[in-house]
Structure formats: structure tokens, C-alpha cells
Amino acid sequence: MDFIPRDPNYKQKVSDSFQRQKFMEFIGAELLDVGPGYCEIQLPYQETLSQQHGFFHAGVIGSLADNAAGYAGFSLMKTDASVLTVEFKLNLLAPGKGEFLIAKAHVLKSGKTLTVCRSDVYVVNQGKEKLCAAAQVTLIQLANTQDN
């Protein structure tokens, strides 16, 4: 589906908001790509992000899935609006074993108040990309609020 962003500077807006998320910096996540209703976030592996078997922790995978969805949705929102996650649901499909994760999210429905996205998280192991998680995310647009 083709979406038209209400804010022509949506790329900058998303990038600025991403920079303000200290948690993304803390885990080492990078904003890879933003389009109208689309977002990609990448995260290199480090041992600090692991669960008991040494793979990416489900919480880390969920954080990425949620965040990519949040910014896919935010890309379409008004300039003076802020975005919050209402809820997300994540299925873990394969162990998060690899050199890095890439979360790719796209908007399914962009409403006046609510936005619904799907987010796929891939783990890249020795150059091979594998789907390791799939999420569905509901966002709310808060009108007339600053995103900081």
C-alpha cells in the first residue's frame, strides 16, 4: 500500500526521535531505513544482549520489533503529534543466533487515532538472513504533544 506522510520532513522527525531513545543507543541499535509507513532497525550482537543460551534475548528482539513498528507508524503522523505503543504481540520463530538482527516494520492501517503495524525480525548468521520473530503492534497518535 502507498502511504503519503503528513509531515514532509518525516525522515528527520523519525531520526531525531530515534536519537532521543537512550535505550536504543544503550543496546547499540541503528536506524537503517525510513520510508512512508516503513522502518528498518539493525542491531549487532554483543554478549550483553543474550539470554541463557547466549542468543539474542527475547526482550531485545521484542524491543526492536516494537521500535521499528513505532517509527513506521510515526513516519505517517502529523508534525505536532507524538506516538506511543498501545500493545504488541510477538511470536518467536527461531533462536536469535547470529551476528545481527534486522527488524522491518510496515503499516497495515493508519487511522486518525490508531495505527496498526506488522514487524518482522530477521537474524543474520554468516550472511544468511532468517526470520526469527513476527510481531503485530498497535500505536496511538497523541495530537498536539511534543515527542520529547
Question: Which of 6, 100, 118, 125: binder of a second copy (CB under 8 A)?
Answer: 118
CA separation for the pair 66, 35 (Å, rounded): 17
Does 44 bind a second copy (CB under 8 A)? Our answer is no
Does 147 bind a second copy (CB under 8 A)? Our answer is yes
Q: How far is the CB of 21 from a second copy (least distance, A)?
A: 5
CA separation for the pair 43, 87 (Å, rounded): 22
Best CA proximity match to 78, nearest among 34, 4, 33, 143: 143
Closer of 6 and 57 to a second copy (Cβ): 57
* First-to-final CA distance of the chain: 30
Which range of residues in 3-11, 30-38, 112-120, 121-129 is near a second copy by CB under 8 A?
Answer: 112-120
Residue 95 burial (CB count, 10 A) = 15
Question: Which of 92, 97, 100, 125: binder of a second copy (CB under 8 A)?
Answer: 92
Does 49 bind a second copy (CB under 8 A)? Our answer is yes
The DSSP bridge partners found for residue 124 are 100, 129
Tell me the CB-side half-sphere exposure of residue 29, using CA atoms within 13 A.
29
* Interacting residue ranges for a second copy, rule: CB under 8 A: 17, 20-23, 25-26, 47-53, 57-60, 62-64, 66-67, 70, 82, 84-94, 108-109, 113-114, 116, 118, 131, 134-136, 138, 140, 147-148
